[in-house]
Structure 1
Amino acid sequence: MRKEDLIPAEEICVRYKVGRQFVSSLYESGIIEIITIEETEYVHCDHLANFEKMMRLHHDLEINLEGLEAINHLLQQIKQLQKDNRRLKNRLGLYE
C-alpha cells in the first residue's frame, strides 16, 4: 500500500464538510476502512467512492447510520451476485 493512495481523514472532513464522528461511524460500521500511520488516520482512495455515496445518502435523504449499513450490505450483495452471474455466463458460453 502506497502512502500516496491514502487521504488523511481530517482532510476528508474539511473537503466534504462532515464531522469527524461521521467518518468514525462509517469506519465502526465497516463501511469504510481507516488506516492509522504514526497517529494519523487515513482513508484509502479505493474507499472514497463508497464514502461519497454514503455521505450523499446520509445528507440528501437523511438516512441514519443503521440504514447506511443496510444499504451498504445490499450493495455488496448485488456486486457479488453480478460477479457470480458473469462467471456463470462465461462458463455457459463454453458449452454453447
Structure 2
Amino acid sequence: MKSTEYITVTQLCTQYKVTSQWFHKLHDTGLIHITTVEEQPCVSLQAIHQVDKIMRLHQELHVNAEGIDIILNLLEKIDTLQLEMNSLKSRLNIYDTEQ
C-alpha cells in the first residue's frame, strides 16, 4: 500500500487540534479505521470526508464519540428511508399517470 493513500493520525491531530487518543477512541468505537503504515497510525484518504463530518460534530456541537456514532447511524437510516420513499413515489407515479 502506498503511504500517499493515507494521512497520519499525527497530521490529523495537528489539523483538528485534538489528541491522538481521540482518534483511537473513534477507532475503538468503530467510527474510523486506523491502519499502521510505515510504523505510523494512519487513516485512509477515502475516509477523510467521514473524519471531517465527525470532527465538525465533535468541535461545533461538542458531541462525544458515542453520540457521534448514534447521530451517524440515524443519518444513514434517514438516507435509506428517503431512498425507499423516492422509490415508492416513483412506483406510485406509474399508476397515477395511467388514469
What's the TM-score bracket when you normalise by the shorter of the two chains?
0.7 to 0.9
**Residue in 1 that maps onto 2:74:** 74
Unaligned runs of 5+ in 1: none
Q: Is 2:34 the partner of 1:34?
A: yes
Change (3 A) 1:38 1:61: same
Change (3 A) 1:4 1:84: farther
Amino-acid identity (%): 33
**Residue in 2 that maps onto 1:43:** 43
Runs of 4+ in 1 over 4 A off after TM superposition: 82-86
Bigger Rg, structure 1 or 2 = 2
| Aligned pairs (5 A) from 1:54-93 | 54-84=54-84, 88=87, 92=91
Unaligned runs of 5+ in 2: none
Instruction: Let me know the Cα RMSD of the aligned residues.
Output: 2.6
Q: How many residues align?
A: 95
Distance 1:30 1:21 in 2: 14
- 1:59 deviates by 1.4
**Residue in 2 that maps onto 1:15:** 15
Q: Which amino acid aligns with 1:6?
A: Y
**TM score, norm. by length of structure 2:** 0.74
